[in-house]
Structure 1
Amino acid sequence: MTTIYIRTLKRAEHTVFCVAEGQKTYYDVQFNKYVPFSSGQQVKRSLIDTLCSEIKQIPSPTTFLFDINKKNEMEEGEVYGTCDPTYADQLFGGWMKAGKGGKDRTLKRRSPLSISAMRALHPLLAGTAKENASFDRSERPNNRVVVRDLNNNELSDDDIVAYLEGKDRSLSRKWIKPANRATGLFVSDIAIDLRRLFSVSVNSFEPEMSDSTIEKLRSEGWIDSENVFGKCLVAPKPLREEWIKGLAKALIDWKITSNQARTFSLMDTLAISISDNANLIAGSIRAKLSEEDSDKANPIIDESLKGVNTFITLQAGGFIQTKGETYDALEKAEAHLIQLLSDFDYENQL
């Protein structure tokens, strides 16, 4: 086994996955509706944040470059990470450093974690609803109201009262543009490439690290080895054991957090499937159109697929017909994942 696949089923209630431009959606042409989703990048960041918190490591610093042009204006330059796998977010998240002008070699490491968007289990099992909102402080007697004229001069209280004559307008209440809220059952898939999980290539033709970083890793006990991608350095066993626990915890417990306090949702996990077979895991948590009503879909958790370990939480029974839900389902999933990650022979792949 060289790849582990994980499918996670979550439930979201009246929440927002991204508020930069309201709730993100895509259009499903078959079922003729807009469906909410959270991007794979957002899922990845949520997972990495959970990982760093679990292993108590501050994420790696990011370098932001800016250039002053001939007009003495600041322009956006490159952005790159440390390209140092002693940071867990770099080792598992990957990196790319491409210098300006093409004078320095580009350093690039593809993440061993392939992460899908968190999207609806089925287009008919998730949707959005608009919510009106307001910023209302009209009950407070100590508000300060400032009204400015065309010359940016403040009007006096008497001038404001005169201006409002014949107008029905509150000065202590603002209406906020209606925004979408997401609700439903959502699924996300993650593939873990065990061959590259703790291995970093030392190929000088397609470099992942600088020579100085390679020497630093060797001095810290990283092991020279080789896999199907060529010569590499493998993280020492004590570090692997520590980070496997943190990674397993993050893979099980990650959640999307909105930056709006009023739209918080637990986004609780209903079920997790783990397998080395991508085709089977896709069928372990799925949906099926109703035979009686083509506008209705029924969620299904298949508990009997050979080659797939499925773990079902107690709350899943409120939304899906299941028999195998347990109070410690996520703990069992985490333990199973730790075992799978620990069993792989990272140092002797060939």
Structure 2
Amino acid sequence: MKNSPFIYLRGLRHAEHTVFGVSNGQKFYRDVQFNRDMAYSSGQQVKRSVIEALELPFAAITFNWEIDANGKAGMKEPHSPCDPSFPDQLLGGFMKAKSNSYTVKRRSPLSISAMRPLHPLLGGLERETEPVVFDRSSKPEAHKVVVSRLDDKGKRQEIPQEELEEWLVSNQRNLGPKYFNPSGQTRASGLFVYDIAIDLRTLFTVSTNKLEPELFPEIEKKLKEDGWIEGENIFGKCLICPKEKREVIIPTLAHALINWRITSNQSRTFSLMETVAVAISDNANQIAYAIRGELRDDTERPQASPRIDETAKADFFITPIASSFIAGSIGSADALDKAEQALIEKMMAFDYENQLN
């Protein structure tokens, strides 16, 4: 039986009192079975974090703005060079579509899920009751307090100091350098899982099909001049990334897939998001239950327990922190290093030049 051209990875992480992405507080969806709000980080955000962790040269992106007849500036769609000689373009995919112009599109060889709770009862949203406070009242003389009001024309005017002091005395009030916002915030805590599928058939190949092009003609010419190999995969004619370039990209990709962190400016309230365990397989069904949450039947109220099922046909890499959440788990300090090496070996072993043989 021919080996699978896919690598499936499932990672289990612990998050504590943090925010992955902001949309009126921590982003969430509603689990329909358990009727609970589930905090999540979108697949797009996880993908961006993986690509940023590559630590390789990135392609320059052109950000387009347009000033209309009224002098207002509006943002237009940004353009990438659509050049797979840059690792972020090769691995992340690209698209450039303009009216009355050549359109190219490359799908990323990395399919990435949202990072979401391992089980609806093992992670989700917590709602803070503590208000937001910004307080400098310990040194009032070092900070300026401005009090204003609207005049008859609706314009905001600062109240003169003497008038303000008289108002404070007569109304028995104090208005010091302190900001108070009573609204609560939402945070994410619990065990969270994410899945990544790597399509080895397209990982280092770019289609030269002219009906649904992935390359501009000038970029295709450039790649050939740079040593990209003409070949063929299951999807048709393609250019194959040279071996020496693959050997540079593969180790840093393996590192990024294991060690990425959410670093975008939409995340806040830092959490280590430490990795509990990683499972790697060539079978999607096996990876689905390799790391899972199990509903318990020995309790009055619904409860769930995390489970690392080492009977699954997968390679397991368990860190010492796993014993904090899963009874009986024994991890090793070099587990993630071994996970990286396993990914490197699997990606190196694939025959990119002779996929049809």
Both proteins in one fold, TM over 0.5: yes
Unaligned runs of 5+ in 1: none
The answer as to whether partners of 1:16 and 1:258 remain within 8 angstroms in 2 is: no
1:143 equivalent in structure 2: 143
Distance across 2 between alignment mates of 1:157 and 1:186: 54
User: Partner of 1:282: helix, strand, or coil?
Assistant: helix
- When residues 345 and 260 of structure 1 are mapped into structure 2, their CA distance, relative to the original with a 3 A threshold, is closer
User: Partner of 1:192: helix, strand, or coil?
Assistant: strand
Tell me whether 1:110 sits opposite 2:107 in the alignment.
yes
User: Partner of 1:78: helix, strand, or coil?
Assistant: coil
1:166 equivalent in structure 2: 171
Q: Spell out, residue by residue over 1:216-246, the C-alpha distance to the aligned partner (whole angstroms, 9 max, x if none).
A: 1111111111101111111111110110000
- Which consecutive segments of 4 or more residues in structure 1 shift more than 4 A? 258-262
Partner of residue 153 from structure 1, selected from 157, 170, 174: 157
2:304 equivalent in structure 1: 297
For normalisation by structure 2, the TM-score amounts to 0.91
1:252-291 pair list within 5 angstroms? 252-257=258-263, 259=265, 263-291=269-297
Tell me whether 1:250 sits opposite 2:256 in the alignment.
yes
The answer as to whether partners of 1:285 and 1:300 remain within 8 angstroms in 2 is: yes
Give the AA of the match of 1:105: Y
Distance across 2 between alignment mates of 1:167 and 1:260: 42
RMSD: 1.8
Distance across 1 between alignment mates of 2:172 and 2:48: 49
- When residues 260 and 210 of structure 1 are mapped into structure 2, their CA distance, relative to the original with a 3 A threshold, is closer
Which deviates more from structure 2 when the two are superposed, residues 168-177 or residues 105-114?
168-177
Unaligned runs of 5+ in 2: none
For normalisation by structure 1, the TM-score amounts to 0.93
Over the matched positions of the two proteins, sequence identity in percent amounts to 50
The answer as to whether partners of 2:20 and 2:266 remain within 8 angstroms in 1 is: no
The answer as to whether partners of 1:95 and 1:110 remain within 8 angstroms in 2 is: yes
1:30 equivalent in structure 2: 33
1:1-350 pair list within 5 angstroms? 1-51=4-54, 53=55, 55=56, 57=57, 59-99=58-98, 101=99, 103-131=100-128, 132-141=131-140, 142-150=142-150, 151-164=155-168, 165-166=170-171, 168=173, 170-176=175-181, 177-257=183-263, 259=265, 263-293=269-299, 294-305=301-312, 307-350=313-356
Q: Spell out, residue by residue over 1:108-157, the C-alpha distance to the aligned partner (whole angstroms, 9 max, x if none).
A: 00000000000000010012222332111111230111122324332222
User: Partner of 1:86: helix, strand, or coil?
Assistant: coil
Aligned length: 343
